[in-house]
C-alpha cells in the first residue's frame, strides 16, 4: 500500500507523470487499492474545501458531512474529518482493528503540503466552530439526552426485495419484516418498503438511509424512488444538500458519496428546499422536471429527468388464494387433499371465533386445527409425522404470460396456540408448483412431495406461550415456466402422536403473485 505522502503527492499534482502511471497501476493491482484511493480522495477534497478562502465553500464541506444526522454524530464527524484526520499523516499510525488512530509518543515534523495544511487548520478551527454555531445555534453545544433511532412503533414493513444483500452490521431483513425508527445499510440489490401511511419507497444498493418516522427518511447515500398516495402527502426525504417534500406524486432521489443530490419527478409535484449554503429559494418541481444540488459549488442546476436511473417498485399481479382469512366460510373440507382448485380441504378442522382466550388475527374468524392425519414428513423421508393439515390448489392459467417473464409466489400465514404442557408448538407452511391436474398431484403426493414438484419450499415456525401474540411464517419462490398449479399447505404438527391436538390456530393466509422490484435500467446494463 502506498504511503500517505505518496497519496498527498498524487492528489496535489506533485508526483511526476511516469510515477503517477506506476502509482495507478499499483493501486489497481491491490484488492483494497481502489477503496483506499477513494477514501484518500474524499479527505483531500474536504481539506481543500476547508482551506478555500470563500466562506460558502467551508460551509459546504461541513454541511455535506453533518446534514441529516444527529447533533452528537455531526460534531464527531466534523472533528474526525477536519482537526483529527488532517493531522500530520506521517506522524500517525492507523489501527484499523481498533477503529481509531493511535499516535506515537514522538514524531518528527513532516514536510510538504500536508504540514502546510495542518498549520492552516489552526486558523480554520475557529471558522469551523463559528459555522457550526451558526448552523445549529448555541443549544447544539449543550448536553442533550441520548435518543435511540430504534425507539417508537412500527413505521414501515419490508414489502419485497430482489437480490438484497445487507451490510455486515445490518440485521438481515426479509419480506414481511416490520421496521421501526432505525438505520438501514443495503450493500446491493433492491428492497421495497411499505410505510404505514401508505407511501412506498424502493431503495437500490449500495444505499444508507435512516427511517426517521412514518413519512420521513434521511438518505445518506444511494438511489430511492417513492410513490406517495393522498394519505401520505408531505412524505419527506432529507439529504446532505437539502430537503425533498412530496405534494402528491412519485419521484426519485439520488445521493452520491461526493455530496451531489439529484431529485427527479415522475408524476405530480415535489418541493425541493436547498440547504442554506445555496442561498436559493424552494424549488417546486413538476412532472418530468429534475434538479441537481452541488454543495461543493453551492450550485442548483436543472437537469433532464430520467425515471430509468431509479429502481422500480414491484407489482402484485394477483392474490389468488381463496378465503385466506376464513371470514366467509362456515366450514372447510375434511376429505383430504382437494381434487379441484379454489377450495380448502384436508384433515378435520373447524372455523372458529374467539377460542380459549385467543382472538382471530384479523376479522372475526380463524382456522382451528383439530384431528390429525399421519403420513411421511415434509421432506423428511425417515419420519412419520402427525398433523392437522389443510390444502388449496391455485390455478395459474390466467397468469401464464406473466410467469414466463418472471413472477414470484409469496405465501404468508399467521399462527397461534394456547399455552400449557399439552400444546404442540410446531406449525408448517408448504408452497409447491406443479404441472398437471389436482387429481394427478393428489395421487402422487404421499412419499413424493419434493421430487415431483417443479418448485418446492417449506418452513416451520415455533410459536410462543402467549395467546395474545400471533407469529407469522412465510415462504416464496420464483414460479418455474411451465407450472400451471400451485399447492398451498398449512399444518399444525404433532411431536407426539399420542397427544391431543387442541388450541392451535391459523389466520390471515395470503398468497401474492408478484413481479419483483427492479434496479435502475442503467444499473442492469
How do residues 267-309 score in pLDDT, each as one tens digit? 999 999 998 888 888 889 999 999 999 998 899 999 999 999 9
Q: Is residue 386 part of a domain?
A: yes
Shortest CA distance to 155 belongs to which of 223, 208, 91, 210? Answer: 210
Same domain, 389 and 337: yes
Q: Is residue 195 part of a domain?
A: yes
**For residues 87-116, average pLDDT:** 29
Sign of CA dihedral 382, 384, 385, 390: positive
How do residues 325-337 score in pLDDT, each as one tens digit? 999 999 999 889 9
Three-state DSSP state, 103:
coil
Residue 455, classified by CB atoms within 10 Å of its CB into exposed (0-12), middle (13-18) or buried (19+), is: middle
Inter-CA distances, 492 with 219, 389, 462, Å: 43, 7, 10
Q: Is residue 175 part of a domain?
A: yes
Same domain, 298 and 180: yes
Which among 311, 326, 349 is the end of a domain? 311
pLDDT at 412: 94
Report the DSSP pairing between strands 471-478 and 299-304: unpaired
Same domain, 372 and 508: yes
Q: Global pTM?
A: 0.61
Angle, vertex CA 476, rays to CA 472 and CA 479, nearest 5: 155
User: How many Cα atoms sit within 13 Å of 273 on the Cβ side?
Assistant: 8
Which among 311, 338, 360 is the end of a domain? 311
- Three cell numbers, residue 80: 474526525
Same domain, 361 and 249: no
pLDDT at 18: 72
pLDDT at 277: 81
Q: Is residue 112 part of a domain?
A: no
Same domain, 298 and 417: no
Q: Is residue 147 part of a domain?
A: no
Bigger pLDDT: 85 or 234? 234
d(CA 379, CA 451): 9
Which among 15, 34, 51 is the end of a domain? 51
Which residue has cell 466534523?
Answer: 78
How far separated are the first and last CA of the chain, in Å rounded?
Answer: 32
Q: What CATH number did the domain enclosing 407 receive?
A: 2.60.120.260
Same domain, 363 and 487: yes
Report the DSSP pairing between strands 471-478 and 408-417: antiparallel
Q: Which residues contact 114 (CB under 8 A, 6 or more apart)?
A: 4, 5, 8, 88, 89, 90
Same domain, 339 and 274: no
Q: Which residues contact 514 (CB under 8 A, 6 or more apart)?
A: 160, 314, 315, 316, 317, 407, 408, 409, 410
Q: Is residue 164 part of a domain?
A: yes
DSSP tally for the chain: helices H, then strands E: 10, 25
pLDDT at 32: 55
- Please report which confidence band the pLDDT of residue 114 belongs to, taking 50, 70 and 90 as the band edges: very low
d(CA 358, CA 379): 31
Q: Is residue 92 part of a domain?
A: no
Same domain, 337 and 481: yes
Same domain, 357 and 289: no
How do residues 5-14 score in pLDDT, each as one tens digit? 777 777 666 7
Same domain, 305 and 327: no
Same domain, 291 and 357: no
Q: Which residues contact 317 (CB under 8 A, 6 or more apart)?
A: 399, 402, 407, 513, 514, 515
Say if residues 460 and 426 touch (Cβ distance below 8 Å).
yes
- Three cell numbers, residue 122: 489552526
Q: Is residue 290 part of a domain?
A: yes
Name the CA dihedral angle for 520, 522, 524, 525, rounded to a multiple of 10 degrees: 170
The DSSP-derived string for 144-193 is: -----TT-SS--EEEEEEEEEEE-TTSPP--TT-EE-S-EEEEEEEEEEE
Same domain, 324 and 239: no
Report the DSSP pairing between strands 455-462 and 471-478: unpaired
Say if residues 259 and 295 touch (Cβ distance below 8 Å).
yes
How do residues 243-278 score in pLDDT, each as one tens digit? 999 998 899 999 999 999 999 999 999 999 998 888
Inter-CA distances, 61 with 72, 123, 259, 407, Å: 18, 16, 9, 46
Residue 179, pLDDT above cutoff 90: yes
Residue 29: which domain range? 4-51
pLDDT at 285: 96
Domains: count for the chain: 3
- Three cell numbers, residue 398: 390466467
Say if residues 49 and 277 touch (Cβ distance below 8 Å).
no
Q: What CATH number did the domain enclosing 262 receive?
A: 2.60.120.1440
pLDDT at 227: 95
SS3 letters across 304-350: ECCHHHCCECCEEEECCCCCCCCCCCCCCECCCCCCCECCCEECCEE
d(CA 87, CA 306): 43
Amino acid at each position: 500500500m502506498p504511503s500517505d505522502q505518496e497519496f498527498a503527492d498524487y492528489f496535489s499534482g506533485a508526483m511526476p507523470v511516469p510515477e503517477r502511471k506506476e502509482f495507478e497501476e499499483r493501486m489497481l493491482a491491490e484488492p483494497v487499492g481502489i477503496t483506499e484511493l477513494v477514501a484518500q480522495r474524499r479527505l483531500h477534497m474536504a481539506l481543500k474545501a476547508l482551506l478555500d478562502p470563500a466562506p460558502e465553500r467551508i460551509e459546504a464541506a461541513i454541511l455535506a458531512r453533518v446534514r441529516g444526522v444527529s447533533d452528537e454524530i455531526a460534531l464527531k464527524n466534523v472533528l474526525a474529518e477536519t482537526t483529527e484526520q488532517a493531522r500530520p499523516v506521517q506522524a500517525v499510525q492507523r489501527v484499523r482493528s481498533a477503529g481509531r488512530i493511535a499516535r506515537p509518543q514522538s514524531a518528527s515534523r513532516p514536510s510538504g503540503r500536508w504540514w502546510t495544511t495542518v498549520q492552516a487548520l489552526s486558523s480554520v478551527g475557529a471558522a469551523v466552530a463559528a459555522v457550526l454555531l451558526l448552523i445549529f445555534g448555541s443549544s447544539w453545544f449543550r448536553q442533550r439526552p441520548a435518543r435511540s433511532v430504534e425507539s417508537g412503533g412500527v413505521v414501515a414493513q419490508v414489502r419485497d426485495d430482489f437480490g438484497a444483500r445487507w451490510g455486515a452490521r445490518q440485521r438481515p431483513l426479509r419480506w414481511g419484516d416490520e421496521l421501526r425508527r432505525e438505520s438501514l445499510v443495503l450493500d446491493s440489490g433492491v428492497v421495497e418498503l411499505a410505510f404505514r401511511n401508505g407511501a412506498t419507497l424502493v431503495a437500490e444498493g449500495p444505499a444508507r438511509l435512516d427511517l426517521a418516522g412514518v413519512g420521513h427518511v434521511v438518505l445518506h447515500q444511494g438511489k430511492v424512488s417513492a410513490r406517495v398516495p393522498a394519505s401520505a402527502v408531505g412524505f419527506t426525504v432529507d439529504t446532505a444538500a437539502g430537503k425533498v417534500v412530496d405534494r402528491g406524486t412519485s419521484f426519485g432521489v439520488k445521493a452520491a458519496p461526493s455530496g451531489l443530490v439529484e431529485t427527479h419527478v415522475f408524476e405530480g409535484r415535489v418541493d425541493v428546499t436547498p440547504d442554506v449554503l445555496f442561498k436559493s429559494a424552494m424549488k417546486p418541481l413538476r412532472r418530468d422536471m429534475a434538479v441537481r444540488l452541488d454543495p461543493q459549488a453551492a450550485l442548483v442546476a436543472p437537469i433532464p429527468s430520467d425515471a430509468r436511473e431509479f429502481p422500480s417498485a414491484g407489482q402484485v399481479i394477483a392474490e389468488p388464494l381463496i378465503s385466506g382469512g376464513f371470514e366467509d366460510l362456515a366450514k372447510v373440507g375434511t376429505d383430504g387433499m382437494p381434487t379441484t382448485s379454489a377450495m380448502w380441504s384436508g384433515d378435520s378442522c373447524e372455523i372458529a371465533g374467539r377460542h380459549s382466550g385467543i382472538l382471530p388475527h384479523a376479522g372475526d374468524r380463524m382456522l382451528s386445527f383439530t384431528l390429525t392425519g399421519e403420513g411421511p414428513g415434509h421432506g423428511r423421508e425417515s419420519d412419520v409425522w402427525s398433523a392437522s393439515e389443510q390444502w388449496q390448489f391455485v390455478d395459474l392459467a390466467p397468469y401464464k404470460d406473466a410467469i414466463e417473464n418472471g413472477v414470484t409466489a409469496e405465501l404468508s400465514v399467521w399462527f397461534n396456540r394456547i399455552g400449557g404442557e399439552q400444546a404442540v408448538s410446531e406449525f408448517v407452511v408448504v408452497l409447491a408448483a406443479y404441472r398437471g391436474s389436482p387429481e394427478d398431484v393428489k395421487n402422487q403426493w404421499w412419499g413424493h412431495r419434493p421430487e415431483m414438484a417443479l418448485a418446492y419450499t417449506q418452513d416451520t415456525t415455533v410459536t410462543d406461550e402467549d395467546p395474545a401474540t400471533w407469529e407469522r411464517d412465510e415462504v416464496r419462490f420464483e414460479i418455474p415456466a411451465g407450472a400451471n398449479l400451485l399447492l398451498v399447505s398449512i399444518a399444525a404438527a404433532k411431536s407426539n402422536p399420542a397427544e391431543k391436538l387442541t388450541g392451535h390456530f391459523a389466520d390471515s393466509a395470503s398468497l401474492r403473485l408478484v413481479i419483483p422490484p427492479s434496479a435502475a435500467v442503467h444499473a442492469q446494463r
